[in-house]
Structure 1
Amino acid sequence: MSAPVRGIIFDKDGTLFDFGTTWEAWAAAFLLNATDNDTVRATKIGHAIGFDLAKRKFRRDSLVIAGTAGEITDALLPHFPGMGRDAMLNMLNAEAEVAPQAEAVALAPFLQGLRRRGLALGVATNDAESPARAHLQGAGVVDLFDFVAGFDSGHGGKPAPGQLLAFCAQCGLEPVDVIMVGDSLHDLRAGRAAGMRTLGVLTGMASEADLAPLAETVLPDIGHIPAWLDQQGV
């Protein structure tokens, strides 16, 4: 028999929010703003982070999909001579905070339904914590989470399990009682490393075939989780 589900920790981008709708528009705007609308230079920099400016699309192997904001900063720095790492990271975080977010499903009623089941809820993202909280606040749901961690919150970033174990410690949960939900292999590997059950969702850039080997099941989006929980008797 499976352990009871007492908590769920979610990735943010590609899980709570649709990745392509949100971040492909952001990437195009960021690259053009950062290069003073020099499309040739913006296109070149885009290639360095796996983004096709002309098509407004990320490659499936793009660093941006699962990497931390720090890793993205390091990839961008060689293209901005004279800009320090802290300045670049601050610029990325400031741009990210105002990126328009497309909810994967209507988040408020979805999360309220999970709270009514008595579940602890958390967010573990490779984004920085400040823009993550801004995005959740913008959706009106930040107060529905017991725990929010970014790569800079002191627990490391995914695929390491530090954020997930910190959620368990804060909420008094055992990893075996928690579900990790994410759209990337980084998310699912972090969940496995933490000793959690894992669910994949298809609102990011990965396919079902990509996620299935590391997920208990792969769902179209997080809106299917309540029915899955019903099947588990939660």
Structure 2
Amino acid sequence: MSALPTIRGILFDKDGTLLDYQASWAPINLRAGRLAAQGDAALEEHLLVLAGVDPATGFSTSDGLLAAGNTREVAQAWHVAGSPFAIAELTLRLDALFQAGVANVVPVCDLGALFAGLSGRGLALGIASSDSEAAVAATAERFGIAGRLDFLCGYDSGHGAKPEPGMVEGFCRATGLPVDAVAVIGDSAHDMHMATAAGAGLRIAVLTGAGSAETLRPLSHLVLPSVADLEQALFA
């Protein structure tokens, strides 16, 4: 695009955007499949493949279910595919597993410095994730950015789920910003579709997740290697 709109707020996705998706989630994905299959090795492999995960490495394919979906969607798909757990119980167990995984996730850059710099420019900042709200809050606390956030939400926060527009609309309500003054930054087609549905002023895709440049470029205004390049792209 020839000229960037004036941006006053930034809404970040979490996994694959602030966190290196494959480095952070490959081992967690494998544990999730093992949990859901309850010792059935063949079922475990089937569930992981169904969710877009390589059962040998835990790596996700572009926009696979575990990379782009929320816990309830994963639990429902795995229950239908043969997991012995009821959907509600599996959702709770997976959310607990994912929240515990926060201790070992890998940031894509110095998140404290990134958020301090953006906050210092007067920008409202938020995180909108397909993970649970508790896991989002735990991640923000771990990396020292909770005090920089004007808004955070997960799939269970009452704003709906990606790719619906509700999370962006919730950010706008919390900050008082018009949606065309908001940039949405994410690593998946779900993030870009959410931004489009809400009418966000700027859609920025990053390549630190399970999405690819080929899938994300047609859906976004900008494609960046990572959020580490964000300030230069917006303000240089």
- TM-score class normalised by the smaller sequence: over 0.9
Q: CA deviation at 1:40?
A: 3.1
SS of residue in 2 equivalent to 1:123: strand
Bigger mean CA offset, 204-213 vs 170-179 = 204-213
Q: Deviations over 1:48-102 (max 9, x none)?
A: 2122212332222521111121111101113222x22221111011000011211
Q: Measure the CA separation in 1 of the matches of 2:141 and 2:59.
A: 27
Q: Does 1:140 align with 2:148?
A: no
Q: Measure the CA separation in 2 of the matches of 1:84 and 1:106.
A: 39
What does 1:57-96 correspond to in 2, within 5 Å?
A: 57-78=59-80, 79-81=82-84, 83-96=85-98
Q: CA deviation at 1:201?
A: 0.3
Structure 2 length normalisation: TM-score? 0.91
Q: Measure the CA separation in 1 of the matches of 2:83 and 2:214.
A: 37
Bigger mean CA offset, 108-117 vs 48-57 = 48-57
Q: Measure the CA separation in 2 of the matches of 1:57 and 1:15.
A: 16
Q: 1:229 to 1:60 in 2, by over 3 A?
A: closer
Which residue of the partner structure matches residue 121 of structure 1? 125
Q: Measure the CA separation in 2 of the matches of 1:51 and 1:200.
A: 21
Which residue of the partner structure matches residue 151 of structure 1? 155
What letter is aligned with 2:62? R
Which residue of the partner structure matches residue 108 of structure 1? 112
Which residue of the partner structure matches residue 209 of structure 2? 204
Q: Deviations over 1:157-198 (max 9, x none)?
A: 111111101101110100111100011111011111111111
Q: Measure the CA separation in 2 of the matches of 1:104 and 1:113.
A: 16
How many residue pairs were aligned?
Answer: 230
Which residue of the partner structure matches residue 224 of structure 1? 229
Q: Measure the CA separation in 2 of the matches of 1:208 and 1:59.
A: 13
Q: Measure the CA separation in 1 of the matches of 2:19 and 2:63.
A: 19
Which of 164, 174, 181 is 2:178 aligned to? 174
Structure 1 length normalisation: TM-score? 0.92
Which residue of the partner structure matches residue 195 of structure 2? 191
2:26–2:57 CA contact under 8 A, matched in 1: no
Q: Measure the CA separation in 2 of the matches of 1:152 and 1:159.
A: 14
Give aligned-pair identity as a percent. Answer: 33
Unaligned runs of 5+ in 1: none
Q: Deviations over 1:102-121 (max 9, x none)?
A: 10111011111100000000
